[in-house]
């Protein structure tokens, strides 16, 4: 019987080899009437075109809708969405919210259980009680 | 202290008539039509000379063992000797890539061509069958490699070599030759070998 | 006529049941049909082959109006020479809809991209792990460039989206026609979808599943880079996007008879037959004992394994020794397609030792 193969799919390591920005689309939702959208309206009319041209990897959609303004990031991985409410924030804080969305991977925030998480095996190997000197071994 | 341990098994080798289940004498199965397997001039001399004389020795392979490996199919001696299967795999991939590069690089007036390259011809039966085993076997026969290959018929009762998989074996030998040139001289030289030595014959075979 | 109830051994089928055509159905592959291609008088004039269904293509001006497409172009870091229309065409799969519309699709591009990817992945693996058995090599190539790997790349890394909206929805949303050029367009083979029930249509060869559609798009983009930027740029792109992915080849082996396979391997390599020795043990009479067994060829230790019985430990040790051999990787290996400083690659004995 020949050696058989177990089919696998290679795992993506974004950043090894090349980095592709996970954020693919940002929706800027504002209200034309509400006061909470003032900062957002300022951002859209004064800064958005410059900001968008400095981030060509991202598609910017501007949506007019009633209610508080929202910055919504859409990410490549599993089509994740990260919405940030920017009500009553001034124009600088809206820009900061946008930067936050762009720099995020789009994954859910979580507390890592280990200090180091890696796909690679440990270089050092695992300590084995069976490879110490025979006199120091614990025998049952 | 580590004791030297030599394992011995009592194995009976049977000479003469075959006995099922008994281990065969290597001198008996390491031969084909009276030719003995090994790095000898009779086995590899012709291939070596062909590579040395084509394009002033650009494609020559100095390693004699490798030349013998190119000429050995995995069916020979149950894969006990170095065989050409994986060389033929890399050779096949390179030939497939190069034949598609060959067809898309032809000058094109097609409005659907990209940067002058007509990708639309790929996928047609004709372009797909460039480099099939039959034409590769024809190349091997023209260059008289067919008598040099060590292989075992698919079915020993079949008399005609063509029905017992000869074309496939010869085709794989030519692919292994491409693979070996690729691994010893690099892709550029191997591509040149395909373009000058093989491609005219392969294209003629399918467009006839 | 073969009755479906009869159990027939695979190897005997041909001899017992006559000609091949009785046993196997002939292939019905749509691309083999002649009317798909219009072939010029001179068959070797490959530049003038044409797909009969093509009537128009997405132009550069149209494609440049799609913001999704422009963002994707920038995200992938494609060069200025790579035209937007090529990218839009790469996202147009061969389908009934596009055939009826007469739109140029990515079929030829994706075939070429597949050839490029297969060669570069094979070359990389054959040089990096020269002793891999062929079955493992093929599976490893497939895990880099198979359709599921490319689906993951295209969807989760590059962020290509499917065009799932109907024409009516687009009309009601005032969405311009060009917007969808940046999305993947194909005829899905999944027909009905409700509460976990999926019907897969088998009617048309031009319908495809999601993974195949994504894979054809990724392959076409790579072929597009070849067309506009040349082969060395394509190679760089493949290296950085695809061959940089993580694959644990050691976990892909499945040995059926590891002890026999090892002894056969040593026979082929002209090395002394393997012997196993118990190196350490603990709790032999307890409910969970541990044994450590080493495999030796002459005085050389080939590998070590552990297990709850001596036989299991020995089997583990044989598997480890076999993996040590097959996963050999030479230092500073150079692929044949490297532009300068090439050096000959290590060539193994052809693959696995057959049992």
- Interfacial B residues in 124-183 facing C (CB < 8 Å): 124-127, 180, 182-183
Q: What is the pTM of this model?
A: 0.90
- The 10s digit of each residue's pLDDT in C9-62 is 444 444 444 344 444 555 555 544 557 888 888 888 999 999 999 999 999 999
pLDDT of residue B117 exceeding 70, the answer is yes
- What is C253-326's CATH number? 3.30.160.20
> Which residues does chain C have within 8 Å of residue A11's beta carbon, measured at their own beta carbons?
245-247
> In this structure, is residue A120 part of a structural domain?
no
Question: Contact C313/C307 with Cβ under 8 angstroms?
Answer: yes
Three-point CA angle C331, C337, C339, nearest 5°:
95
> In this structure, is residue A112 part of a structural domain?
no
Q: How far apart are CA C354 and CA C276, in angstroms?
A: 21
> Which residues does chain B have within 8 Å of residue C43's beta carbon, measured at their own beta carbons?
126, 206-207
> In this structure, is residue A136 part of a structural domain?
no
Furthest-apart CA atoms within chain B: distance in Å: 80
Of the candidates C210, C324, C321, C341, the residue with the CA atom closest to the CA atom of residue C259: C321
> In this structure, is residue A63 part of a structural domain?
yes
Same topology, domains C60-249 and C253-326? Answer is no
- The 10s digit of each residue's pLDDT in C47-74 is 999 999 999 999 999 999 999 999 999 9
* CA distance, residue B55 to nearest chain C CA (Å): 20
> In this structure, is residue A52 part of a structural domain?
yes
Query: Does residue B184 sit at the C interface (CB-CB below 8 Å)?
Result: yes
Task: Kindly report the CATH number assigned to the domain that includes residue A64.
Answer: 3.40.30.10
Q: How far apart are CA C127 and CA B137, in angstroms?
A: 27
Residue C233 pLDDT level (bands cut at 50, 70, 90): very high
- Find, in chain C, the residue whose alpha carbon is nearest to that of A60: C67
Q: What count of CB pairs under 8 Å joins A to C?
A: 131
Residues C291-314: what's their mean pLDDT?
96
Q: Choosing among C67, C71, C268, C285, which should be mutated to test the A contact, i.e. which has the most A CBs within 10 A?
A: C71
- The 10s digit of each residue's pLDDT in C151-181 is 999 999 999 999 988 889 999 988 888 899 9
Task: Return the partners of chain B (3 or more C-beta pairs < 8 Å).
Answer: C
CA torsion through residues C74, C80, C84, C90, sign: negative
Cα C352 to chain centroid, rounded:
22
Give me the domain span that covers residue A31: 23-103
Neighbours of B2 (CB within 10 A): 8
CB-closest option in C126, C350, C352 to B69: C350
- Find, in chain C, the residue whose alpha carbon is nearest to that of B76: C354
Where are chain C's structural domains? 14-51, 60-249, 253-326
Query: What ipTM was assigned to the predicted interfaces of this complex?
Result: 0.93
> In this structure, is residue A49 part of a structural domain?
yes
The CATH number fitting domain C60-249, selected from 3.20.20.370, 1.10.1520.10, 3.40.718.10, 2.60.120.380: 1.10.1520.10
* CA distance, residue C227 to nearest chain B CA (Å): 6
> In this structure, is residue A82 part of a structural domain?
yes
H/E element, C312: helix C310-326
The answer to whether the CB atoms of A12 and C67 lie below 8 A apart is no
- The 10s digit of each residue's pLDDT in C107-144 is 999 999 999 999 999 999 999 999 999 999 999 999 99
Report the DSSP beta bridge partners of residue A27: A61, A72
pLDDT of residue B23 exceeding 80, the answer is no
CA torsion through residues C92, C94, C99, C104, sign: positive
H/E element, A25: strand A23-30
Number of domain units in chain A = 1
Report the DSSP beta bridge partners of residue C294: C277, C304
Q: How far apart are CA A61 and CA A75, in angstroms?
A: 14
Query: Does residue B73 sit at the C interface (CB-CB below 8 Å)?
Result: no
The answer to whether the CB atoms of B123 and C349 lie below 8 A apart is no
Set out the domains of chain B in order of their start, with CATH numbers. 37-207 (1.10.1520.10)
């Amino acid at each position: 019987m020949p050696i058989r193969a177990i089919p696998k799919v290679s795992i993506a390591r974004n950043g090894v080899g090349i980095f592709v920005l996970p954020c693919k689309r940002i929706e800027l939702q504002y209200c034309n009437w509400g006061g909470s959208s003032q900062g957002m309206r300022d951002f859209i009319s004064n800064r958005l075109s410059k900001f968008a041209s400095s981030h060509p990897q991202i598609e910017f959609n501007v949506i007019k809708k009633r209610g508080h303004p929202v910055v919504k990031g859409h990410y490549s991985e599993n089509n994740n969405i990260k919405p940030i409410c920017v009500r009553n924030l001034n124009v600088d804080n809206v820009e900061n919210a946008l930067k936050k969305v762009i720099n995020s991977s789009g994954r859910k925030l979580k507390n890592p259980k280990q200090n180091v998480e890696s796909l690679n095996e440990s270089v050092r190997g695992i300590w084995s009680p069976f490879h110490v000197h025979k006199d120091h071994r614990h025998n049952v | 202290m580590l004791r030297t341990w030599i394992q011995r098994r009592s194995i009976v080798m049977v000479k003469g008539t075959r006995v099922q289940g008994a281990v065969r004498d290597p001198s008996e199965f390491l031969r084909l039509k009276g030719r003995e397997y090994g790095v000898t001039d009779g086995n590899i001399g012709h291939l070596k000379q062909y590579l040395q004389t084509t394009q002033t020795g650009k494609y020559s392979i100095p390693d004699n063992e490798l030349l013998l490996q190119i000429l050995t199919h995995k069916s020979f001696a149950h894969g006990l000797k170095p065989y050409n299967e994986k060389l033929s795999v890399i050779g096949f991939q390179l030939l497939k890539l190069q034949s598609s590069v060959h067809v898309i690089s032809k000058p094109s007036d097609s409005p659907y061509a990209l940067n002058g390259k007509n990708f639309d011809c790929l996928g047609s039966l004709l372009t797909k069958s460039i480099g099939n085993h039959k034409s590769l076997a024809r190349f091997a026969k023209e260059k008289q490699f067919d008598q040099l290959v060590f292989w075992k018929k698919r079915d020993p009762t079949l008399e005609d070599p063509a029905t017992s998989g000869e074309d496939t074996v010869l085709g794989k030998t030519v692919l292994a030759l491409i693979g070996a040139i690729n691994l010893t001289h690099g892709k550029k030289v191997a591509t040149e070998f395909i373009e000058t030595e093989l491609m005219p014959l392969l294209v003629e075979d399918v467009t006839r | 006529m073969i009755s479906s109830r009869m159990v027939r051994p695979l190897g005997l089928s041909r001899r017992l049941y006559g000609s091949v055509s009785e046993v196997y159905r002939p292939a019905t592959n749509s691309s083999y049909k002649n009317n798909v291609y219009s072939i010029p008088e001179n068959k070797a004039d490959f530049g003038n082959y044409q797909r009969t269904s093509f009537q128009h293509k997405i132009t550069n001006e149209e494609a440049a109006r799609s913001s999704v497409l422009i963002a994707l172009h920038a995200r992938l870091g494609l060069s200025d020479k790579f035209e937007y229309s090529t990218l839009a065409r790469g996202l147009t799969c061969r389908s009934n809809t596009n055939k009826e519309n007469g739109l140029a699709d990515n079929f030829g591009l994706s075939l070429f991209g597949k050839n490029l990817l297969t060669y570069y992945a094979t070359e990389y693996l054959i040089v990096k792990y020269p002793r891999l058995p062929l079955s493992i090599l093929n599976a490893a190539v497939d895990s880099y460039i198979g359709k599921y790997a490319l689906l993951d790349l295209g969807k989760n890394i590059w962020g290509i989206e499917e065009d799932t909206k109907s024409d009516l929805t687009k009309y009601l949303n005032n969405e311009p026609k060009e917007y969808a050029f940046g999305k993947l367009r194909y005829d899905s083979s999944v027909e009905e979808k409700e509460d976990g029930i999926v019907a897969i249509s088998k009617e048309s060869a031009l319908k495809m599943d999601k993974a195949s559609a994504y894979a054809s798009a990724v392959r076409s983009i790579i072929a597009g880079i070849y067309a506009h930027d040349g082969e060395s740029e394509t190679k760089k792109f493949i290296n950085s996007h695809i061959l940089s992915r993580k694959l644990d080849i050691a976990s892909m082996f499945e040995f059926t008879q590891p002890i026999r396979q090892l002894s056969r391997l040593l026979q082929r390599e002209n090395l002394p037959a393997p012997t196993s020795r118990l190196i350490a043990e603990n709790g032999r009479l307890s409910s969970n004992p541990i044994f450590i067994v080493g495999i030796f060829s002459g005085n050389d230790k080939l590998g070590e394994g552990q297990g709850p019985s001596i036989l299991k430990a020995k089997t583990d040790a044989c598997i480890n020794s076999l993996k040590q051999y097959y996963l050999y990787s030479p230092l500073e290996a150079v692929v044949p397609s490297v532009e300068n400083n090439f050096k000959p690659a290590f060539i193994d004995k052809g693959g696995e030792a057959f049992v």
